[in-house]
Amino acid sequence: MVSLDDLKALARPASTKIVLLVLDGLGGLGRESDGKTELEAARTPNLDALAAKGNLGLADPVAPGITPGSGPGHLGLFGYDPLQFRIGRGVLEAAGIDLDMTDRDLAARGNFCSVDAGGVITDRRAGRIPTETCARLATMLEGARVPGVDLVVRPVREHRFVVLFRGDDLEEGLTETDPQETGTPPLPVKAETQSARRAAEVANQFAAEAKKLLAKEHPANMVLLRGFSKYPRIPWLTAIYGVRAAVIAVYPMYRGLAKLVGMQPVKTGDTVADEVSALESAFGQFDFFFVHVKKTDSAGEDGNFDRKVSVIEEVDAQIPRILALKPDVLVVTGDHSTPAGFKAHSWHPVPVLLASRWCRPDGAPSFSERECRFGSIGHIRAAALMPLMMAHAERLTKFGA
């Protein structure tokens, strides 16, 4: 891999525009009837036409065989080696609700849960309480007393919240309290390293305080904590490539991820068409656009092959509007595969389509996992896509004399 320092040295200014359109969980598996994947079953005349003119390939988000979470999946697409840059769930959730973190903060993702009189978990999500209830309880938890530590507790959605432990010597390296099953009490937090011992103490004190404060609540009478993490220092896209980068995403977590690498959020409505409208309105103000479509992944996770197909078709119908903006580079891909037949994120390589005037056309008949095997991008790590996009946008100068 080319280092980010090398890429920074090669970056040169340009007035070109790049659109990275991510269909979350795009990669699929063949259905029983005819062996077609979701992308292959979808009617995608616009993407197919692009495939003929552009380049195809397959990308491993992290490495062959590795199933990525949303964080590594996107970091790879943004050009960062996910094995080198790691982001905790706590940080992700905080970023997704615009909660600024300081260097003294340790973030954790919290779930309100239900426990019985014996402290045994009966519902890991407390019946998915309304967000308003979550907000009230979060404010209550902020009043918990943990000596030497300021608490910031913010609701996310339903039973989910974020807590920031703000204090000295609060380091990463903690186990989580969520046992991932009911019928057992929350686990104590343990320090995995010497330097995280103070943080473990603080987290356990907070959990104990939460239990007391929530004792009379129902069904949300306890918390589960996971993803303890510090804000990572990731060089921003602007600092590396000199691009003004924007994120257009409906879900907070993806905006949060993008903000970690310096992208600015653009306001958008909920549909794919809304997102393209947001792209249109912001097109003059940025150089790089990350547009995130969530519903492909949700359909895959639900095992709903047909719904995933129809989301892909919904995206295809918007391609002409994107092309009308005349981006210099358009990449359509996923952050990982979520085959409907697998009902979860998977390790399967992700189809990649790159279109630009500088493509040596692959002449593929369609955009599909099958055709991507023969594309001239080859089978690459997702992190190699960013230099390719920058090259096609004429934003990288020659390496060496």
Which spans of this chain sit near a copy of itself (rule: CB under 8 A)? 1-3, 6, 10, 28-30, 35, 37, 58, 62-72, 82-83, 86-89, 92, 109, 227, 339, 342, 345-349, 358, 360-363, 369-370, 373-380, 384-392, 396-401
Q: What's the sign of the alpha-carbon dihedral 234, 236, 237, 242?
A: negative
Q: How far is the CB of 385 from a copy of itself (least distance, A)?
A: 8
- In terms of CB distance, is 7 or 272 closer to a copy of itself? 7
Question: Shortest gap between Cβ of 221 and a copy of itself (angstroms)?
Answer: 26
Instruction: Return the amino acid letter for 11.
Output: A
- Residue 64 to residues 58, 60, 331, Cα–Cα distance (Å): 11, 6, 21
Query: 198 or 288, CB closer to a copy of itself?
Result: 288
In the complex with a copy of itself, the residue whose CB is nearer, 45 or 374, is: 374
Residues 6+ apart with CB under 8 A from 106: 90, 164, 165, 170, 171, 172, 199, 202, 228, 229, 230
Calpha distance 59→347 (Å, rounded): 10
To the nearest whole angstrom, how small is the minimum distance from the Cβ of residue 119 to a copy of itself? 27
376 CB-side CA count, 13 A: 15
Residue 282 or 391 having the CB closest to a copy of itself: 391
Q: Which is nearer to a copy of itself, 32 or 132 (CB)?
A: 32
- Closest CB 219 distance from a copy of itself, rounded Å: 25
Per-residue tokens: 140 = 């209550």
Find the shortest distance in angstroms from Cβ 120 to a copy of itself: 24
Beta carbon of residue 15, minimum distance to a copy of itself (angstroms, whole number): 18
Q: Which is nearer to a copy of itself, 68 or 186 (CB)?
A: 68
Give the chain's length: 401
Please return the burial class of 189, using the count of CB atoms within 10 Å of its CB with bins 0-12, 13-18 and 19+. buried
